[in-house]
Each structure stands twice: as C-alpha cells, then as structure tokens.
Amino acid sequence: MRIDRLELRPIKLPLAHFFETSFGRTDDKHFILVRVDGDGVTGYGECVAEVDPYYSSETNDTCWHIITSFVAPRVLGAEFAHPRDVFAALKAIRGHNMAKAAVEMVAWDLYAKQRGERLSRTLGGARDRIESGVSVGIQLSLDDLVAKVERELAVGYRRIKIKVKPGWDVEAVRTLRGRFGNIPLMVDANAAYTIKDADHLAALDAFDLMMIEQPLDYDDIADHAALQRRLRTPICLDESIKTVGIAREAIAAGACRIINIKPGRVGGFAESIRLHDLCAAQQIPVWHGGMLESGIGRAANIHLATLPNFTLPGDIAASQRYFDPDLIVPAITGAADGTIAVPDGPGVGVTVVSERVQRATLEACDVRL
Ligand code: OSB
Ligand code: MG
C-alpha cells in the first residue's frame, strides 16, 4: 500500500445543538478533514482534535503542524505492507496521537478499499451492528435535561451518559433516576474533580450508575486508584488512557474497571486494537468513545466498535444528533432498537459529498487565528 497524495482541509460544521462539558461549550465543530490517494483509490478520515487544548493537549493547529511537518514526510510515497505498520513508522514523533491517528486511520481505509473489503473486517471485527448510546451535555436546567433524556430514550438509545461537573452532578442523577427509573445511566466528569471530592463522589454510589468516566485529572492514575478503592461504582478512564502502556499501568493499579477507546487519543486503529486486546485479556470491558465526529470519523468508529470486547454501548449515535446535513451519504442512522448498522461497501463504506465539504471548508488562515 502506498500513499501518493495527502490533502488536509480545515472544516467548520455548525452543531445542531450546543454541547457543554465541564471544560466548556462547543457550538461548532472545527476539524481537519484528511484525504489520501494511492494506487487509484481515495481514502477519507478526520482528525479528532478540537480548537482548544482542554480535552487533550493537542489542537487543530498542533495537528496541522505535526501532520504537515513530520507525519506527511514519513508516509508520503512510502510502501507499507499493511496499515498496522504506519504507527510504527511514526515512532520518532513523541506524542501527538491525534495527528498520527488522523493519517493512520485513513491508511486503513485506503488499504481496505484497495482490497475491496469492509473496514470492520480489516480491523478484525465481526458484527454487523453496534449498540449505540448518547452523551448528553450539561443543560441550562434540570427540566431541559429531563426533556433531552426523554427524547433520546424515545429514539431508542441503549445507554444515557450525562456530563457532570461540581454543581451539576448528584442532583442531576437523582432527578433522572426519579423520572426514568432503572435506565442504563452513567456520568462523565471530564476530569472536573480532585481526590478531595471523594466523599462527594461516593454519594453517586447510591444511584447504581454503570460507571463514572474520568472523574479526576487527565494524568492522574494514583488518585483514580485511590478513588476506585473508595467507590462501588466502576471508574472508566478516557483522557488518562493516552497509550497502551498507560492503560496497562492503570489496570494494574486498579485505577479503572472499564476503558473508553477513542482511536484518535491513542494514535489510530493499530494502537486501538492493541488496547482492545489488552483489555480483553485483563477482563476490562471497553466501549467506543466519541469526539463529536462528522459522519466520516463516525463511520470509522463504527467499524472499530465491531471488535468483540466492545461489550458496552458507546458514544456513537446518529449523524442528525450532531449535524444536519452531515458530510456523507447515506447519513448514519439508528434503528428503533438502539443499534446502528455497520456501513457496507469497501473501506469506511460511506460517500463524502464534495459540495458539502466545499461549503464547510475554511481558509487555512481561519483555523490558525
Ligand atoms: O469526554 O467523551 C468525552 C466530546 C468531545 C470531547 C470529549 C468527549 C466528548 C463526548 C461526546 O462525550 C461524545 C459524542 O457524542 O461524540
Ligand atoms: Mg469522556
């Protein structure tokens, strides 16, 4: 497999609804769209970095810089026997996993297309459908939260995750349990607490949550282990799991019982598969996270989520929750039973609508401002 051409495009898509987490509110999704051409085939993917270094230290600008200056020279024109070799070829570049993943994942799409095979199969997955859950942002009021969750349950989503932060946590969970009973419910704090909040977080144990995602800081394994000893509710790590090595340490330390896999966070599909396999061997269930991707990245995520240890519904939901219209056809839709079909056809199996991409493209200088 050879990548002859690499194109980066800064994209801005308005979100259908604002999305608020403990680190802030997003109204538009800005991302780098990646296109590669090789051996007469075209692959597409997207970089999951955001405008600000709040979820991750990477941003769109750092990814643009790392891809153009360091990743592209190592992959352009190089011959790879398999896309799993791409991450290894980028070893000299420390960190910058989102930048690496943006190119690595497109290499998998290109390879799968060249073989005329569904990406899920190339990745080692077998399922035809994945279980879908939603991530519900912080709302303006508890009434808004109830209304939003009611709509998502009516659509059929199999698990509700709500974003929490100090001042928007125990009451929000109590309200949802009171109104909706024993639904599959979890919370994601995006690192908003410290170990000093352990007693406060222990109050969540009364509500039988599936898990608490990333309660403490993004680089803190030891305090997560201490907190997990204090809580009955399983801790799931997201931000902390930047590499497979850190995952091994976190599991050994008892810092989590569940892991959220986002290929952008760990450097692409090959590393995600290693992380998935490590977790399977350690009896740690995994689920697929989301980064408000457009249909291009969303489709790629669906393929990865077909691997066998993705046993919990993840943050992969229908396109229209995020963007209307999305950049692809057909749009990603959910069935009434809360599942999503794996796109069929070679590679990611979705078609990019070039007029929509044109309309959403920013001048490079806009993204750099
Ligand atoms: O912590 O999982 C997260 C979105 C952006 C950055 C971080 C996170 C999220 C989400 C949204 O929770 C998941 C989605 O619906 O794509
Ligand atoms: Mg998270």
Give the tens place of pLDDT for each residue, 91-124: 999 999 999 999 999 999 999 999 999 999 999 9
Q: d(Cα 210, Cα 141) in Å, to the nearest integer?
A: 23
SS3 163: strand
Distance 300 CA to ligand 1 centre (A): 16
Checking DSSP bridges between strand 134-136 and strand 160-163, what pairing results, if any? parallel
Active site residue 113: no
Burial-class residue 147 by CB neighbours within 10 Å (0-12, 13-18, 19+): exposed
Q: d(Cα 304, Cα 120) in Å, to the nearest integer?
A: 6
Distance 143 CA to ligand 1 centre (A): 22
Enumerate residue ranges in the chain where pLDDT < 70.
364-369
Which residue, among 335, 339, 340, has the nearest Cα to 295 in the 3D structure? Answer: 340
Q: Is the CB of 290 under 6 A from ligand 1?
A: yes
* pTM exceeding 0.95: yes
pLDDT in tens, 286-321: 999 999 999 999 999 999 999 999 999 999 999 999
Question: Nearest C-alpha to atom 5 of ligand 1 is from which residue?
Answer: 291
Q: Is the CB of 326 under 6 A from ligand 1?
A: no
Q: What pLDDT was estimated at residue 363?
A: 73
Which ligand ends up closest to the CA of 295? 1
Q: What pLDDT was estimated at residue 369?
A: 33
Provide the angle, in degrees to the nearest 10, between the axes of the packed helices 244-253 and 222-230: 40
Q: Is the CB of 239 under 6 A from ligand 1?
A: no
Q: Is the CB of 55 under 6 A from ligand 1?
A: yes
Distance 194 CA to ligand 2 centre (A): 16
155, 163, 237, 292: which to mutate for ligand 1, most atoms within 8 A of CB? 292
Distance 292 CA to ligand 1 centre (A): 6
pLDDT in tens, 192-203: 999 999 999 999
Q: d(Cα 257, Cα 237) in Å, to the nearest integer?
A: 8
Q: Is the CB of 152 under 6 A from ligand 1?
A: no
* Under 8 Å between Cβ of 187 and 238: no
Query: CA angle, 111 as apex, 10 and 62 as ends, to 5°?
Result: 30
